[in-house]
Amino acid sequence: MGGGPCSAEGSDLLLLDLGDRYIAEAVSEKGAALLEDRAFEKSDEKSLSHAEKIRKQAEASMQPLAKKETWSRNWSGFSAIRFGKTWQRRVQLRDLHVPLPDLSLLRSLRRSIGPGRRKDQGLGFLPVPSVHPAGFGFNPRPTVKERFRQRIMHKLSYLPRSQAMTGCVGCGRCVTECPVNLDIREVMVISFRGKCTVMENPYVPVPMRIEEIIVETEDENIKTFETVFYGQG
């Protein structure tokens, strides 16, 4: 997002932890006024050099995956062919992919049909069978692939282009709280590289050989399959 562990953007006062004490840097006039308080002492050369060393170490430990200003350009090259591989990383849990009505598309659809006809036809004029009558919409992104693409492009390509800002604030909660354990940063790395292989992508199916089949119930409706990675055993 362009920030960093020692980024002072938007701050009045920047505190840097030196271990046994803090070093404070005034960024604005308000911050400078705060520094005149008796709680602060003037820093010496040794502390300043130590702070600079810590600052460099912290910034070196957090290298960005992609530069903010290049996101829009890079994502515009996120081709459909490449999506064909990356979207498979998504778990196909149906509940997580409830199609939502896209009202802008619905409006354009109405205009193309004409106001007089839609009254008689009701929902029947919608051309897509997977209609959600309760939401009064139709699903313009019927498969996981289109929805996966939209969620990434919306935040990282469409918004930067239309609003000159990304939809991502860099909080990282989408990674830590993702119910399907999808790390969008990995997707970005794979996409920017322009290649996606089995070795790089753990979510492409790997072959496993069935080693043993255990019948768990008398009616044989539940079985336990013992498998090993193909090439072992």
Partner 1 sequence: MARADEERFAYTPGQFAELSVFGKGEAPFGMASTPTRPGRLSFSVSKIGVVTGALHRMEKGDVVGVRGPFGNGYPLQTFKGKNLVLVGGGFRVFHAPVPDEFHSPRFKQKRVQRPHGDLRSKKAGMLLYKKDLEAWKSKGISGCI
Instruction: Determine, following the binding rule CB under 8 A, whether residue 228 of this chain makes contact with partner 1.
Output: yes
Instruction: Determine, following the binding rule CB under 8 A, whether residue 225 of this chain makes contact with partner 1.
Output: yes
Q: How far is the CB of 155 from partner 1 (least distance, A)?
A: 22
Instruction: Determine, following the binding rule CB under 8 A, whether residue 218 of this chain makes contact with partner 1.
Output: yes
Residue of the chain from 21, 179, 187, 191 that contacts partner 1 (CB under 8 A): 179
> Which residues ranging from 73 to 132 are in contact with partner 1 (CB under 8 A)?
88, 91-93
Residue type, 145: K
DSSP single-letter state for residue 170: S
Q: How far is the CB of 177 from partner 1 (least distance, A)?
A: 9
Report how far residue 23's alpha carbon sits from residue 4's, in angstroms, rounded to the nearest whole number: 17
Q: How far is the CB of 150 from partner 1 (least distance, A)?
A: 21
DSSP single-letter state for residue 155: I
User: Which run of H or E residues covers position 24?
Assistant: strand 22-26
Is residue 166 within 8 Å of 190, Cβ to Cβ?
A: no
Instruction: Determine, following the binding rule CB under 8 A, whether residue 185 of this chain makes contact with partner 1.
Output: no
Report how far residue 34's alpha carbon sits from residue 40's, in angstroms, rounded to the nearest whole number: 9
x-marked contacts with partner 1 along 18-57 as a string, rule CB under 8 A? ----------------------------------------
Instruction: Determine, following the binding rule CB under 8 A, whether residue 224 of this chain makes contact with partner 1.
Output: yes
Beta pairing, strands 13-17 & 22-26: antiparallel
Burial class of residue 3, CB neighbours in 10 A (0-12, 13-18, 19+): middle
Q: Which residues bind partner 1 (CB under 8 A)?
A: 88, 91-93, 179-181, 199, 202-213, 216-232
